[in-house]
């Protein structure tokens, strides 16, 4: 008898349904798995054999053939152990195949028959639900994550024997894990507060930089900070996480899928609840940043989706690593192409970078003289290509603090919570404006949306025209200038973009380069 068991797998961050077909015939004993299994799947034969025996069942001494359909997609990971074992027991007439038609099985088996959790549960369960499979049997470790999907009954078991015992009951009664229910808005808000590790009120001076960071957070804009060593660039970046707006539920699900596939979900928190802040070291490879590898996985730009990718001392990163950022910064997605497959990962992140103005770090410093030659300075800046700089909306200088600012112990600045409240209000205006569109922030506006939502009055248009002439703005820079002005207008709770909003946006392109 051929048993047909349902399970799922992941490709990229999307799940797909897998049919596990098991046939046992009276022939020379053997155990074969076909359907493009990887090494982990092929090795499951020994785990399954031991798990079935140690769970108190007889392993058939016949020829066993397992087909993982569709057969043209490579199968990876250890989550096929449980469905294959259930298929073997069903084909051996221990389980009734009619009772299994509404169930899917996911999990890795230990040699003693106990069940372990696997990665990528959320996208798998989402896809199984689309395929009208609403009952999932998996490990207790994965139960909460699977229960995030509404309308799915999740049955957590700790072993193969417990799963079989449950399926053999005439009227199965077992604890169903309820969907993960929380007050999402309040939960995310409280979690975001915990991200304030360094408060803006404790940062001395740098009011212009703080304002620029507020604008960047409000609209999801990219930002570059240039300043001498010790001026506060890294400290400001640490404060930035504390003013990011809370995640929408749809964003949280997107992020959870990415972190689930990457195996980076916290055990006791099945839902990603705060915007990520990723800060890779400058020794990171292009694959580590963009994603990919032999078994493709999301890179840093995908792990920073809906959050921030911070590159401190950005020019110390290899040129090829920086250049791979150009396309994701424009499109919000990254496509990993290989000979046998093409995978698309989301990568809609805020790019935040910090650097010195020259190799010695003191060009333009008011206290210390720069010792770099013009050639050294040009070479230093050349590591950031023009097309990459063109994609950075806000480019500001972070100057050295004065003596009075350094000696002051009073907290004169605004708190992160106060700034964050304004950011949230600006984001809510954007969510309302784009309620019928497929975007959620100003930085995501395409040229069509810019034309629709960034109309200028005569005075503002005159100011933009002067900026285009003086700074030789490209078409992309012009679009980003308007999006930046739209965000500034939102922070002022203004429905229209005015000349003062344009003027402030122009100031954020004021980095002095040495050429």
Same CATH fold assignment for domains 2-168 and 434-515: no
Token duo for residue 109: 């088996």
Q: Which residue has the higher pLDDT, 307 or 292?
A: 307
CATH of domain 434-515: 1.10.8
pLDDT for residue 289: 95
Sheet holding 350-355, edge to edge: 277-278, 308-312, 350-355, 223-226, 394-397
Q: Where do the structural domains in the chain lie, given as residue ranges?
A: 2-168, 186-426, 434-515
Share of the chain above pLDDT 70, in %: 93
Helices (H) and strands (E) in the chain, counts: 22, 18
Q: Write the Ramachandran bin of 149: left for phi over 0, alpha for psi from -120 to 50, otherwise beta.
A: beta
pLDDT at 486 over 90: yes
**Cα(396)–Cα(236) distance, integer angstroms:** 13
pLDDT at 338 over 80: no
**Cα(481)–Cα(473) distance, integer angstroms:** 9
**Cα(369)–Cα(360) distance, integer angstroms:** 9
Instruction: Place 174 in a pLDDT band, splitting at 50, 70 and 90.
Output: low
pLDDT at 173 over 60: no
User: Is 420 strand, coil or helix?
Assistant: helix
pLDDT for residue 515: 40
Q: How far is CA 383 from CA 251, 311, 313, 352, 511, in A?
A: 33, 14, 11, 16, 16
pLDDT for residue 180: 47
Backbone φ and ψ for 278, nearest 5 degrees, come out as -100, 130
pLDDT for residue 296: 84
**Cα(252)–Cα(140) distance, integer angstroms:** 22
pLDDT one-digit tens code per residue, 265-274:
887 778 888 8
Task: Give the strand pairing for 63-69 and 30-34.
Answer: parallel
Least confident of 16-30, 188-202, 356-370: 188-202
- CATH fold, domain 186-426, is Rossmann fold (3.40.50)
Backbone φ and ψ for 324, nearest 5 degrees, come out as -70, -10
Q: Identify the burial level of 58 via C-beta atoms within 10 angstroms of its C-beta, where 0-12 means exposed, 13-18 middle and 19 or more buried.
A: exposed
**Cα(149)–Cα(178) distance, integer angstroms:** 10
pTM assigned to the model: 0.89
CATH assignment of 2-168, among 1.10.540.10, 3.30.230.10, 3.40.50.1000, 3.40.50.720: 3.30.230.10
DSSP 152: -
Residues 6+ apart with CB under 8 A from 154: 125, 136, 138, 143, 146, 147, 176, 177
Backbone φ and ψ for 275, nearest 5 degrees, come out as -65, 130
**Cα(457)–Cα(445) distance, integer angstroms:** 20
pLDDT one-digit tens code per residue, 438-451:
899 999 999 999 99
pLDDT one-digit tens code per residue, 98-113:
889 989 999 999 999 9
**Cα(507)–Cα(275) distance, integer angstroms:** 28
Cα Rg for the chain, rounded, in angstroms? Answer: 28
pLDDT for residue 411: 63
Q: Which residue has the higher pLDDT, 222 or 232?
A: 222
Backbone φ and ψ for 104, nearest 5 degrees, come out as -125, 155
Mean pLDDT of 480-484: 94
**Cα(52)–Cα(449) distance, integer angstroms:** 59
pLDDT for residue 99: 86
DSSP 6: E
Sheet holding 14-25, edge to edge: 30-34, 63-69, 14-25, 2-11, 103-105, 135-139, 153-157
**Cα(152)–Cα(446) distance, integer angstroms:** 37
């Amino acid at each position: 008898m051929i048993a047909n068991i349902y399970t799922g797998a992941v490709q990229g961050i999307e799940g797909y349904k897998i049919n596990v077909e098991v046939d046992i015939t009276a022939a020379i004993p053997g155990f074969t798995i076909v359907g493009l299994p990887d090494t982990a799947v092929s090795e499951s034969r020994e785990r399954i054999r031991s798990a079935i025996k140690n769970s108190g069942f007889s392993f058939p001494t016949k020829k066993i053939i397992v087909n993982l359909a569709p057969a043209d997609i490579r199968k990876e990971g250890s989550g096929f152990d449980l469905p294959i074992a259930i298929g073997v027991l069903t084909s051996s007439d221990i389980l009734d195949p009619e009772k299994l038609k509404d169930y899917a099985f996911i999990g890795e088996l230990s040699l003693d028959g106990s069940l372990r959790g696997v990665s990528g549960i959320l996208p798998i369960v989402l896809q199984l639900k689309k395929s009208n499979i609403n009952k999932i049997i998996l490990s207790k470790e994965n139960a909460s994550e699977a229960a995030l999907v509404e309308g799915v009954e999740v049955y957590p078991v700790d072993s193969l024997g417990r799963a079989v015992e449950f399926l053999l009951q005439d009227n199965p009664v077992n604890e169903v894990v309820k969907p993960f229910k929380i007050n999402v808005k309040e939960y995310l808000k409280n979690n975001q507060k915990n991200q304030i590790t360094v408060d803006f009120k404790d940062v001395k001076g740098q009011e212009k930089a703080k304002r620029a960071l507020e604008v960047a957070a409000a609209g999801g804009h990219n930002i570059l900070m240039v300043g001498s060593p010790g001026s506060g660039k890294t400290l400001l970046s640490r404060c930035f996480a504390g003013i990011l707006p809370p995640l929408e539920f749809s964003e949280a699900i997107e992020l959870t899928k990415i972190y689930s596939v990457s195996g980076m979900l916290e055990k006791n928190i099945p839902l990603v609840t705060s915007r990520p802040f990723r800060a890779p070291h400058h020794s990171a490879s292009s694959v580590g940043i963009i994603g990919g590898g032999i078994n493709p996985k999301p890179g840093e730009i995908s792990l920073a989706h809906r959050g921030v990718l911070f590159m401190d001392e950005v020019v110390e990163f290899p040129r090829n690593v920086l250049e791979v950022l150009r396309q994701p910064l424009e499109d919000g997605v990254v496509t990993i192409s290989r000979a046998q497959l093409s995978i698309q990962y989301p990568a809609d992140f805020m790019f935040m970078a910090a650097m010195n103005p020259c190799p010695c770090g003191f060009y333009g410093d008011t206290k210390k003289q720069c010792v770099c030659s013009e050639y050294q300075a040009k070479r230093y800046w050349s590591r950031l290509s023009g097309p990459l700089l063109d994609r950075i909306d806000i480019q500001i200088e972070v100057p050295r603090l004065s003596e009075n600012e350094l000696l002051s112990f009073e907290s004169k600045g605004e708190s992160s919570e106060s700034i964050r409240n304004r950011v949230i209000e600006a984001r809510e205006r954007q969510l309302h404006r784009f309620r019928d569109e497929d975007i959620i922030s100003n930085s995501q506006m395409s040229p069509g949306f810019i034309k629709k939502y960034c109309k200028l009055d005569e005075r503002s248009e005159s100011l933009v025209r002067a900026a285009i002439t003086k700074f030789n703005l490209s078409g992309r820079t012009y679009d980003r200038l308007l999006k930046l002005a739209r965000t500034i207008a939102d922070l002022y709770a203004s429905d229209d973009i005015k000349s003062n909003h344009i003027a402030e946006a122009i100031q954020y392109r004021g980095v002095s380069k040495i050429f």
